[in-house]
Amino acid sequence: MRKLTGVAIWMVLVLGWTGPYAAGNTPKQRLEPLPAAEWDRSKAKHLLERAGFGGTPAEVNRLAAMSLADAVAYLVRFDGVPNVTLPSFEHSGIFDAGLDPFPPSRPATTKLAEETGEALGIKVKAGGNRPLQPIVNKFFYWLRASRLETDRVAQWWAERMLTSPRPLEEKMALFWHGHFATNEDKVRDYRKMHKQVELFQRDGLGNFRTLLINVAQDPAMLAFLDAGVNVKGSPNENFAREIMELFTMGVDNYTEQDIREAARAFTGWNFTGLDFNFDAGKHDDGGKNILGHIGNFDGVQTIDLILQHEATPRFIATKLYRFFVQDSIDAELQTELGKRFKDNNYDITALLEILFSSREFYAGHVIGQRIKGPVELLISTYRKLGLTNLPGAPDFNLVTGSLGQRLLHPPTVAGWSQGRAWITPSLLIERGNFALDLAFPDIEFIPQDRYPIYPSGPEIRAVQQRLRDGQDMLSATRPVDMAASMDTDMMATSNRVDRQEAFNTRYGSFRGWQMAIQRVKPIPRDLATLDLTRMVVRAELATSAEVIDYFTARFLTVPIDGTTRQNLVELFTLELGSDDVLASSTVLEEPLRLLLHLILSRPEYHLG
């Protein structure tokens, strides 16, 4: 039967097709633990790949030396994992009280300033031209600074994914970030994004009810789904719809009426600063009919009604299965997993333990079939290389972004589509280009946390250049595409009388960038510390063929075909100028890096 994947599978789930059944086995049998005799190194490698981000041969060996139960307990419950405290996020210190609450837009900010004489903690200037300029500058400052600081949060999180001895904690945080997808573009406050990541790290392996309530009361989520405008007498359906459709039950398990009634139950929920705030005056405590239950439900009671619904445990357990095991899942197994999840009182760890121990998880058609998402691809690459620091170049956020997964900027509230959706011809090429930049650093790399490139970079840079050329404010802030004609008669315009205006938006945009980079700490730009020669020497590899086999085993889950292997051996030998690897140890590094690039460019590399 044709294998279904990606969005199609999602359609299947939504629309209730039943996919291919694993032949002859009941769901109960498929979820039984793998017999001890079948546990071996290749299965340990598979487990580390899925329940973590993969690892070095030594890490695989350590896991393989344990029993299956111990290995699962090590990775899922962290039994026997050294208790290290991971570094917490180091704030640059870009926030001040005047920024809270942050108005919804630039026009709203200047309107507030005009009406009250003050905004963002800054008073309108008493006189002179552009009396609102400092306020506009600060508005753009925060937009830019929060975005840059959010990149630092993502960098910090990625560093934890790379270095944590409890990788599943971070992988679950990544899963929940895709599930409860919130985007800084709308939230516009890195502090809320950071707080949400910490929530996922803390609660991601705990109880789903606790997690769900905490997310529903999380300031980033409340801001993202317009909680502020969901008030008594004027309910906004945004959050109520998404909690049912995307966060718990999936479509077709509730009605539009349920959404409208649930929206009323969530009225009055909002945030103040970084805290959840319930405004009883804005809450509609009237009677409601939600999912067939009648009562004066509030938000938490509504969540409990949703959790009682049979669709919820099935929906969540199925999504976890698809993330950790495989894309396709039949209806019987969905039901069984939902039942187990509910029986375990929504304990996420318990469900994952069942999955990672199961025969199903170690089936031949499951191993090496999962297409990695961009974040996993980078982290697992670094882990397999044995890196202990996240490289600053290539830039983690730029690379994962160009591959379709920029942390803290998911494309929509539905998060990222998994599986085959990660791969297009162009994205496959981009993945290879990342491997090249890793093996052979790009000397033209420009850190974009200092140098403005996207989205308004050219304009910002042009404003600075023209101001420093002595142009007046009006000329300097002309749109870039008009600049060519402008600059020819620059001398004529530079002495022109300044226009009277309340503020200049383009100047604010430029000045905001300047102020942002004064405060936001730079991301360290250390390159990956690769010493492939040492890797080969320590593994005592003597011939080209041994090097190829070692590298493919270390970096790939799926073996390469014979012709490709032979091509690699020949090319490597040619580049090395010899087949005697040990005798060539002083000239090994460059051919090895070439080899690394080639292996990381193979289609096989994206599977785990």
Does position 45 bind another protein by CB under 8 A? no
Bond into 57 cis (ω within 30): no
Q: Check if the beta carbon of residue 6 is closer than 8 Å to that of residue 424.
A: no
- Measured CA to CA in angstroms, residue 586 lies from 73, 325, 549, 594 at distances of 43, 43, 21, 16
Subset of 538-567 contacting another protein (CB under 8 A): 558, 561, 563-564, 567
Task: Answer yes or no whether residue 458 interacts with another protein by CB under 8 A.
Answer: no
- How many positions of this chain bind another protein (CB under 8 A)? 69
Contact 394, 434 (CB under 8 A): yes
- Should residue 371 be labelled a site residue for another protein when binding is judged by CB under 8 A? yes
Residue 486 near residue 493, CB atoms below 8 Å: yes
Span 85-114, contacts to another protein by CB under 8 A: 104-105
Looking at the Cβ atoms of 212 and 403, the one nearer to another protein is 403
Closer to another protein by CB, 33 or 404: give it. 404
Using the rule CB under 8 A, which residue among 11, 491, 553, 583 binds another protein?
A: 11
Shorter beta-carbon distance to another protein: residue 540 or 570: 570
Of 163 and 318, nearer to another protein (C-beta) is 318
The per-residue b/e assignment along 356-373, b for 16 or more CB within 10 angstroms, e otherwise, is bbbbbbbbeebbbbbbbb
- The number of beta carbons lying within 10 Å of the beta carbon of residue 225 is 23
Query: Is 404 near another protein (CB under 8 A)?
Result: yes
User: 447 near 523, Cβ under 8 Å?
Assistant: yes
Site for another protein, residues 235 to 274, rule: CB under 8 A? 236-238, 241, 245-246, 251, 256, 259
Stretch that binds another protein, among 33-41, 310-318, 363-371, 387-395 (CB under 8 A): 363-371
Q: How far is the CB of 481 from another protein (least distance, A)?
A: 10
Report H helices in 183-284. 184-187, 190-203, 208-216, 219-224, 238-242, 256-265
Q: Does 598 bind another protein (CB under 8 A)?
A: yes
By CB under 8 A, tell whether 319 contacts another protein.
no
Chain positions 426 to 445 lying near another protein, rule: CB under 8 A, are: 426-430, 432-433, 436
Region binding another protein by CB under 8 A among candidate stretches 308-316, 407-415, 524-532, 540-548: 407-415
CA-closest candidate to residue 47, choices 173, 171, 202: 171
- The helix/strand/coil state of 259 is helix
601 near another protein, judged by CB under 8 A: yes
Rounded Cα distance, 110 and 122, in Å: 11
Nearer to another protein, 370 or 383 (CB): 370
Query: What residue spans of 204-347 are helical by DSSP H?
Result: 208-216, 219-224, 238-242, 256-265, 299-308, 311-324, 331-343
User: What are the residues facing 118 on neighbouring strands?
Assistant: 123
> Which C-beta is closer to another protein: that of 56 or that of 236?
236
Phi, psi for 389 (deg, rounded to 5): -130, 145
CB of 155 to another protein, least distance (A): 22
Q: Is 485 in the site for another protein (CB under 8 A)?
A: no
Least distance in Å: CB of 245 to another protein?
5
Q: How far is the CB of 171 from another protein (least distance, A)?
A: 19
The CB-of-104 to another protein minimum distance in angstroms stands at 7
Count of CB atoms situated within 10 Å of the CB of 375: 26
Phi/psi of residue 405, each to 5°? -145, 80
CB 3 to another protein: min, Å: 5
Select 32 or 237, whichever has its Cβ closest to another protein: 237
Site string for another protein, 196-235 (x = CB under 8 A): ------------------------------x--x----x-
Phi-psi region of 246 (alpha: psi -120 to 50; beta: other; left: phi over 0): alpha
Paired tokens of 248? 């718990």
Contact of 268 with 278, CB cutoff 8 Å: yes
Distance CA 72, CA 58 (A): 17
Please name every residue paired with 543 in a beta bridge, in sequence order, or none if there are none.
580
Query: In the complex, what is the shortest distance from the CB of residue 118 to another protein, in angstroms, rounded to a whole number?
Result: 22
The helix/strand/coil state of 148 is helix
529 binding another protein? (CB under 8 A): no
- Give whichever of 5 and 109 is closer to another protein, judged by the CB atom: 5
Q: Which two tokens stand for residue 435?
A: 């491997």
Residue 3 interacts with another protein (CB under 8 A)? yes
Residue 435: alpha-carbon gap to chain centroid: 20
Q: Which two structure tokens, joined as six digits, stand for 325?
A: 């095991």
* Of positions 285, 332, 487, 575, contacts another protein by CB under 8 A: 575
Q: Which residues contact 104 (CB under 8 A, 6 or more apart)?
A: none
Between 442 and 531, CB nearer to another protein: 442
369, 381, 400, 475: which one contacts another protein (CB under 8 A)? 369
Q: Does 464 bind another protein (CB under 8 A)?
A: no
Specify the residue, 202 or 420, whose C-beta has the smaller distance to another protein: 420
- Whether 548 and 568 have beta carbons less than 8 Å apart is answered as yes
Which of 230/358 has CB closer to another protein? 230
CB of 288 to another protein, least distance (A): 17
C-beta separation of 335 from 27 below 8 A: yes
What does the alpha-carbon distance between residue 260 and residue 238 come to, in Å, rounded to a whole number?
Answer: 10
* Rounded-to-10 torsion of CA 401, 403, 408, 414: 140
Q: Does 574 bind another protein (CB under 8 A)?
A: yes
Q: Is 256 helix (H, G, I), strand (E, B) or coil?
A: helix
Considering only the stretches 291-299, 310-318, 362-370, 391-399, report the one whose residues sit in contact with another protein under the rule CB under 8 A. 362-370
357 binds another protein (CB under 8 A): no
Q: Which of 357, 402, 475, 477: binder of another protein (CB under 8 A)?
A: 402
Positions touching another protein (CB under 8 A) are 2-8, 10-12, 14-15, 104-105, 226, 229, 234, 236-238, 241, 245-246, 251, 256, 259, 368-371, 402, 404, 411-414, 417, 420-430, 432-433, 436, 558, 561, 563-564, 567-568, 570-571, 574-575, 594, 597-598, 601, 603-604, 606-607
